[in-house]
Structure 1
Amino acid sequence: MTKSIAGIAIPDSKLANEAAELLREYGDPLLWNHSHRVFLFGSLLGRQENQKYDPELLYVSAVFHDLGLTKHYRSPDKRFEIDGANAARSLLEQHGLSKESTQLVWDAIALHQTIGVAQYKETVVALLYHGVGFDVMGDRFDELSEQTRSQVVSAFPRDGFKNKILHAFLDGIGHKPETAFGNIDSDVCERYLPGYKRPNFCDLVLQSPWNN
């Protein structure tokens, strides 16, 4: 694997390599390339803002952020972000990382789809969120030059990513659409899952067992 792209070094520690091997074993090329682009885009945005953070923790967060979609890590009843966060926490605990570092990675993964919250958290959490937003929705797209974007995509190609990632979400959460309530995955279920009707918060309030 290329060790430096667009001036950003891919962490090469024992922890980082083990995390990457888990992604390689249980993920697929789509998630492999996406996760590395997320790390690189998040790192590049952080560099532009002179942010200080632990690259290894950001890398592990990026590697695990979508692993909850895979058959190996998905649970029957939790949000896929929580499945990925729990898997990352297990690995970090095995490597003896501090509770603070472990919690930081857990939060980064668990909140990476939580719009309006994650960007105000600690730097690793915020940069993972921004890296995901950059790669998935093109958020802050013009803040990185075309040359920089091309270097990242050349190393980790998109290869039809726009459509493939939506179906990866569907594959990962289609058996538990109730976990999409209150988050952006309900959009995926509504578009691609036959018969799905998203719950309405107003209905839940008005139909509660309270008298008034």
Structure 2
Amino acid sequence: MTNFIADIKIPDSKLAVEAAELLRDHGDDLLWNHSNRVFLFAAMKGNSSQVKYDAELLYISSLFHDLGLTPAFRSPDKRFEVDGANAARDFLRSRGIPEESIRLVWNAVALHTTVGIVEYMETEAALMNFGVGYDVVGKNFDFIPAEVRKQVVEAFPRDQFKHNILHAFWEGFKHKPETTYGTMNADVCEMFLPGYQRPNFCHHVLHSKWEE
């Protein structure tokens, strides 16, 4: 893999390479290509906005952000985002990374689907959220020129990504649909699980044990 894609350098430190190898070992081509595209789009946003960010931590966050969907890292009872964040934390701690950096990566991974909040957090978390939104739903699509998008997709192909990523989400949390309550992931459960009815917040309020 070339170190530069669309003028963005792919981090190649020992830490970055080990994180990439972990995703390669436990993920598949879908998550590998998606995670790298997320990093590239996030870095482009950071460079264009002229904000200071740690490229290595942004890359590692991108590599881990969907790792919680994989059999090796999915838990029986936690949101997949938290599983990925915990995996990233364990990986970084095992390599003696400072807690401040670990906390930054944990936040970026755990909150990457928390629209309306994560974009106001640490720069790396906000940038990765941009990259995720850009790659998954085409948010702010015209921000990146077509020729640049083409370079990214040639390096990390989409290969029917729209349909395959939804199946990957479902496989990652079909055993724990309750963890999608209050998130966009409940839409995936509704799509794939016959008869699924998402929990309703208003119902919880009106039927709580409070007597009044």
User: How does the TM-score come out when normalised to structure 2?
Assistant: 0.99
* Partner Cα separation in structure 2 for residue 5 and residue 79 of structure 1: 32
* Partner Cα separation in structure 2 for residue 195 and residue 26 of structure 1: 32
Encode CA deviations 1:103-149: one digit per residue, 9 max, x unaligned.
Answer: 00000000000010010011000001000000000011101100111
Displacement after TM superposition at 1:51 (Å) = 1.1
Displacement after TM superposition at 1:196 (Å) = 1.2
Aligned to 1:192: 192
Pair 1:33 & 2:15 matched: no
* Partner Cα separation in structure 1 for residue 19 and residue 195 of structure 2: 37
Displacement after TM superposition at 1:193 (Å) = 1.2
5 Å matches for 1:122-141? 122-141=122-141
Q: Which amino acid aligns with 2:88?
A: A
Aligned to 2:52: 52
Encode CA deviations 1:15-64: one digit per residue, 9 max, x unaligned.
Answer: 10110011001000000000000000000011110011100000000000
Aligned to 1:5: 5
Q: Which of structure 1's runs of 4+ aligned residues deviate more than 4 A? A: none
Displacement after TM superposition at 1:194 (Å) = 1.7
Q: Which amino acid aligns with 1:100?
A: E
Aligned to 2:74: 74
Secondary structure at the aligned position of 1:210 is classed as coil
Aligned to 2:42: 42
Q: Which amino acid aligns with 1:117?
A: I
Secondary structure at the aligned position of 2:197 is classed as coil
Aligned to 2:168: 168
* Partner Cα separation in structure 2 for residue 211 and residue 203 of structure 1: 15
- The aligned length equals 212
Aligned to 1:19: 19
* Partner Cα separation in structure 2 for residue 108 and residue 4 of structure 1: 23
* Partner Cα separation in structure 2 for residue 161 and residue 143 of structure 1: 20
Displacement after TM superposition at 1:195 (Å) = 2.3
User: How does the TM-score come out when normalised to structure 1?
Assistant: 0.99
Displacement after TM superposition at 1:156 (Å) = 0.1
Aligned to 2:158: 158
* Partner Cα separation in structure 1 for residue 94 and residue 10 of structure 2: 22
* Unaligned stretches of 5+ residues in structure 1: none
Structural RMSD (CA): 0.6
* Unaligned stretches of 5+ residues in structure 2: none
* Partner Cα separation in structure 1 for residue 2 and residue 66 of structure 2: 22
* Partner Cα separation in structure 2 for residue 46 and residue 147 of structure 1: 19
* Partner Cα separation in structure 1 for residue 92 and residue 61 of structure 2: 11
Q: Which amino acid aligns with 2:144?
A: L
5 Å matches for 1:113-128? 113-128=113-128
Q: Which amino acid aligns with 1:92?
A: L
